[in-house]
Structure 1
Amino acid sequence: MSSDLSFALRLADAADAITHSRFRATDLVVERKPDRSPVTDADTAVEDAIRALIAAERPADAVAGEERGGSVVAGRTWLLDPIDGTKNFLRGVPAWATLIALMEDGEPIVGVVSSPALNKRWWAARGEGAWAAESGGEPRRISVSGVRDIGDAYLSTTHLSSWVEYHSREKYLALADACWENRAFGDFWQHCLVAEGVIDIAAEAIVNPWDVAPLRILVEEAGGRFSDLTGDPTIHGGSAMTSNGHLHETALKLLA
């Protein structure tokens, strides 16, 4: 395991200690950001804790995060989403995670997704494969599915109304109709399920770079494919789709 990946896993440990203690807390503080999305005291506490550890142990690295700002720069940048799935977190739904990615010249080279309420963690580093483990369990290498026919595919998305505002509900429904089954696991989880081979396609009409940076490397190291909805393999395209690779072009055409 590379030193960067080992450090990223320690950052996730620090995040888990905070989020686990604040999950379903009766005194959780919730505010609204200018875009009306919620932020809790746990979100800011996690990002502040991770930034402090990076400053202490990787002082030359830049940091960018959802809550405290910053941007991905040339060289090395840690990109953070302290709680992906904040709406789930504040409502007591256990599907949320801390997302941590190390970017090098704009490309993710390390990714960690830690979901303590689901007792699950996923991670990857470029050239080191994709891995997952349940709490206390042994790590296991993961890979995408071998499904090749769109009619046999399992599809997931996030909030359906986002397709109306940012892409096309009709196009998404056309993709859903072409697939065998569809759900809305949402946010990070659906992309992790693609990496594990549990589902075959996950698509989102609107994302930010911190939402998907570690998921890109996780899915790619698991043998799958990541892109925005135009097919560009970038985390900056404002949308995202992951797949087992076999179904990617077919799905893109249905969403075009």
Structure 2
Amino acid sequence: MPRHGDLELALQLGDIADRITVRRFQAHDLRIREKPDRTPVTDADTAVETAVCEALRFARPDDAFAGEETGGSVTTGRTWMVDPVDGTKNFLRGVPVWATLIALLEDGRPTVGVISAPALASRWWAAAERGAWLRRGSVDSAPVPLRVSSNTRLADSYLSTTSTRTWDVFHSRAAYLRLAEACWEDRAFGDFLQHCMVAEGTLDIAAEPVVNPWDITAVQILVAEAGGVCTDLLGASPHSGTGALSANPRLHRLALEVLAAPPG
């Protein structure tokens, strides 16, 4: 269990991040550079990560920190993990679908997660044994509890991925197409949003072939606390790097079977 105040601290860190990202979103002087893997990073990414790290040094000086831009790794004990802007390509193009992801891991297990998407006026959060929640609208709006879909049939399922092109590189496009064909409908809502929508019950399945730990840790506990399952595409920890699959327990099992089936 997270110690008292960890969730409240994570929500405060989300406020810090929002003040930065909202100010820099669609700014004419936004600074962008390309990382070695050819993914973009903006001055908002680095500013958020720096501000959150500094706040944690003050509030939790004994805890470790790992961020997408500054590095760090998850070890035994307590580690805070931050993705300052998940959906940077959207952010730099002026598309409002992006969020800051903040998570606390204890001995490698996520116990707190906050996903803050101010341009969507939405914030999702969860903590171990405290449920999954969504506040949409103003900060005075009452949060609502989340629950995954009760659907039990792939044929009735709404599926989302991030980019079909990445399935060729990191898993199998044929496997994803088998799953899409088994489902009622598929779209590419992408990144954090699709997993949050699974926790809300508005999507049934989110599947993507490649994620980094900072991409998935916060949504992993959100989906779990909403009654769902979030693993990699083989059913193991999503921190393994072999993708992510979120759904309710039955659909998760059925989707794993389809993704694992040999072609033909």
The TM-score by the shorter chain falls in which range?
Answer: over 0.9
Q: CA deviation at 1:237?
A: 3.4
Which position in structure 2 is the counterpart of 1:79?
81
Q: CA deviation at 1:159?
A: 1.1
Moved more, 174-183 or 234-243: 234-243
Does residue 219 (structure 1) correspond to residue 223 (structure 2)? The answer is: yes
Structure 2 spans left out of the alignment, 5+ residues: none
1:188-226 Cα deviation digits (max 9, x unpaired): 000000000000000010000000001110000000011
Does residue 110 (structure 1) correspond to residue 112 (structure 2)? The answer is: yes
Moved more, 113-122 or 131-140: 131-140
1:165-184 Cα deviation digits (max 9, x unpaired): 00011110110010001000
Q: Calculate percent identity across the aligned residue pairs.
A: 58
Q: CA deviation at 1:145?
A: 0.6
Q: Distance in 1 between matches of 2:69 and 2:61?
A: 20
Output the aligned Cα RMSD: 1.0
Which position in structure 1 is the counterpart of 2:23?
21
State the TM-score, normalizing by the size of structure 1: 0.98
1:13-40 Cα deviation digits (max 9, x unpaired): 0000000000001100010000000000
Which position in structure 2 is the counterpart of 1:204?
208
Amino acid aligned to 1:46: V
- Runs of 4+ displaced beyond 2 Å: 233-238
Q: CA deviation at 1:79?
A: 0.5
Provide the secondary structure at the position in 1 that maps to 2:91: helix
Provide the secondary structure at the position in 2 that maps to 1:230: coil
Q: CA deviation at 1:234?
A: 3.7
Whether the aligned pair in 1 keeps the contact of 2:216 and 2:238 (CA below 8 Å) is: no
Whether the aligned pair in 2 keeps the contact of 1:146 and 1:246 (CA below 8 Å) is: no
The number of residues matched between the two structures is: 256
- 1:191 paired residue among 179, 189, 195: 195
Q: How does 1:1-256 map to 2 (within 5 A)?
A: 2-136=4-138, 137-256=141-260
Amino acid aligned to 2:76: A
Whether the aligned pair in 2 keeps the contact of 1:143 and 1:195 (CA below 8 Å) is: yes
Q: Distance in 1 between matches of 2:173 and 2:92?
A: 27
Provide the secondary structure at the position in 1 that maps to 2:7: helix
Amino acid aligned to 1:183: R
Whether the aligned pair in 1 keeps the contact of 2:84 and 2:101 (CA below 8 Å) is: yes
Provide the secondary structure at the position in 2 that maps to 1:128: coil
Q: Distance in 1 between matches of 2:249 and 2:119?
A: 29
Amino acid aligned to 1:33: K
